[in-house]
Each structure stands twice: as structure tokens, then as C-alpha cells.
């Protein structure tokens, strides 16, 4: 599913122009005209990124951003601020409030899309189409293919949709321990209510598929905490698994 981008902009013409360009870039645009509308959308489904205008009717975008950062559910959502305010103090205020990027009006929609791609690549690499390779195991989101180098020969790895998303998440967040609840939020979404043990079932399936090419040990169980993908050489991973 494409990354969802919430556009919070009170000028309909600008909001529609941004939505068209964002959709053309392969993302899924959502629109809100004010903070109340944005709150309603965010409460239903957490967007992958928010494009937020500073000057909004009622509550300002800056105040909304501060509330997003104070909420544990929304504090990690990337935000790009849009504003006609160009003073250095305004830039500092926006960044200190937690904005990931800042664009002054007027701006090029193409440049905004480029900024969106850059922020997603930096903050949420699992949402990009960049191929990723660790220890000879390669996943390409654009072709939905996974393969491994086994004794110099490229071998395909056949995965179901959920196992593919799981592996993509782990490959783009290596050497970090992830709890089951965090993996659920990142792979299934924060509004999907399923048991945390579901993660264990799909990890088992993922390891079973990776076992065909000798890579099952790359996904480590961290007792009492969760799971981690290791960057250590494969031979070492197998010995310590």
C-alpha cells in the first residue's frame, strides 16, 4: 500500500494542487482544511507523513505540531511545515517544535514531493521503493522480489505478502531490538487489533522461507524484548543462533 500523506491546508486550490502532485508521485493523499479535520483523520488512521500549513483557521499549525509531538501515538510521524513566514526565528520555532522539514511559500510542488521522498527515506525507509541488501540478502520493493547469494549463485526467496513486509521492515531497521507491539504498528498498522503473538507466527513463517537459502538466523530473538535483524556475517549469525 502506498504511503499516506495528510495535507493540512486551508486554501482549497493549494491543497488540491498538492494532492494531485502527491498522488502522481505514487502516494495516497488525504486532505484537511483545519486542525479539527486533521485530528479526525489522524484519530482514524495514522498517516505516514503530514504536510502542515502554519497559518490555519482556529488553532495554528505550529500549535498542532507541538501537540502531535507530545502524544506518544503521533510523536514519530514526520511533518513538513508550509508557511509564508520567512523570518529566521520562524524557521527555528518550526524546527524546535519538531518539524522534519520547512518550506516557505510560494514553493514548487515538485520540490515538495522531493522533500517528502527525502524525509520518508530518512525516517521511514520501509516506505520507499529502494532495494536493500544486507549480508547478500536483497529485497526489491519495486519488483516484490527477494533473493540471496548462495555460494555465488542468486537464489530466489518466496514470501507471502505479510512476510515480505516483515522482512522489508527488519532490513531497513537492522541491529535494533523491536518489541512485538512496535512491529505490529509498523507492519500491520496502529489501528489493526490483533494479538501480539501473531508476530511470532509470521516470524516463524519468515524464518522457514529464509531457511531454504540458509538465512533464517539473520532474524534474532531477543528474549523478553522482541526481535532484531543482525548485520553480522552470516556464518557468525548461524553459530550464535
- Beta-bridge partners for 82: 53, 103
What is the structure's pLDDT at 159?
92
pLDDT digits (tens, 9 = 90+) for 11-59: 999 999 999 999 999 899 999 999 999 999 998 888 889 999 999 999 9
Contact 30, 22 (CB under 8 A): no
Contacts of residue 84, Cβ cutoff 8 Å, sequence gap at least 6: 54, 55, 104, 105
132-240: what CATH class? mainly alpha
pLDDT band at 192 (very low <50, low <70, confident <90, very high): low
Residue 99 is placed in which grid cell? 518539524
What is the structure's pLDDT at 146?
94
What residue segments make up the domains of the chain, in order of their start?
4-127, 132-240
pLDDT digits (tens, 9 = 90+) for 153-178: 889 999 988 899 899 999 988 888 98
Longest dimension (CA), the chain: 63
What is the structure's pLDDT at 207?
94
Same fold, 4-127 and 132-240: no
- Spatial distance between the Cα atoms of 76 and 234, rounded to a whole number of angstroms: 32
Q: Write down how long the chain is.
A: 241
- DSSP letter at 197 equals H
Helix, strand, coil percent content, the chain, rounded in steps of 5: 45, 20, 35
Residue % of the chain over a pLDDT of 90: 46
CATH superfamily name and code, 4-127? Response regulator (3.40.50.2300)
Lowest average pLDDT, out of 74-88, 183-197, 198-212, goes to 183-197
Contact 94, 102 (CB under 8 A): yes
Amino acid at each position: 500500500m502506498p504511503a499516506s500523506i495528510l495535507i493540512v491546508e486551508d486554501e482549497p486550490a493549494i491543497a488540491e494542487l498538492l494532492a494531485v502532485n502527491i498522488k502522481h508521485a505514487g502516494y495516497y493523499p488525504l486532505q484537511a482544511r483545519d486542525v479539527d479535520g486533521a485530528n479526525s483523520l489522524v484519530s482514524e488512521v495514522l498517516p505516514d507523513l503530514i504536510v502542515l500549513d502554519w497559518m490555519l483557521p482556529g488553532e495554528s499549525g505550529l500549535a498542532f505540531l507541538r501537540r502531535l509531538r507530545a502524544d506518544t501515538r503521533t510523536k514519530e510521524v514526520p511533518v513538513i511545515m508550509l508557511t509564508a513566514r520567512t523570518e529566521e526565528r520562524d524557521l527555528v520555532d518550526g524546527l524546535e517544535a519538531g518539524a522534519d522539514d520547512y518550506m516557505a511559500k510560494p514553493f514548487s510542488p515538485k520540490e515538495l514531493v522531493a522533500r517528502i521522498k527525502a524525509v520518508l527515506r530518512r525516517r521511514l525507509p520501509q516506505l520507499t521503493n529502494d532495494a536493500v541488501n544486507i549480508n547478500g540478502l536483497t529485497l526489491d520493493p519495486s519488483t516484490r522480489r527477494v533473493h540471496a547469494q548462495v555460494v555465488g549463485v542468486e537464489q530466489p526467496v518466496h514470501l507471502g505478502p505479510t512476510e515480505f513486509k516483515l522482512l522489508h521492515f527488519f532490513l531497513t531497521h537492522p541491529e535494533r531490538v523491536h518489541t512485538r507491539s512496535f512491529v505490529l504498528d509498523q507492519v500491520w498498522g496502529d489501528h489493526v487489533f490483533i494479538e501480539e503473538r501473531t508476530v511470532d507466527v509470521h516470524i516463524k513463517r519468515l524464518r522457514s522461507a529464509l531457511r531454504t537459502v540458509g538465512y533464517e538466523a539473520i532474524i534474532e530473538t531477543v528474549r523478553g524484548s522482541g526481535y532484531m535483524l543482525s548485520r553480522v556475517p552470516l556464518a557468525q549469525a548461524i553459530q550464535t543462533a
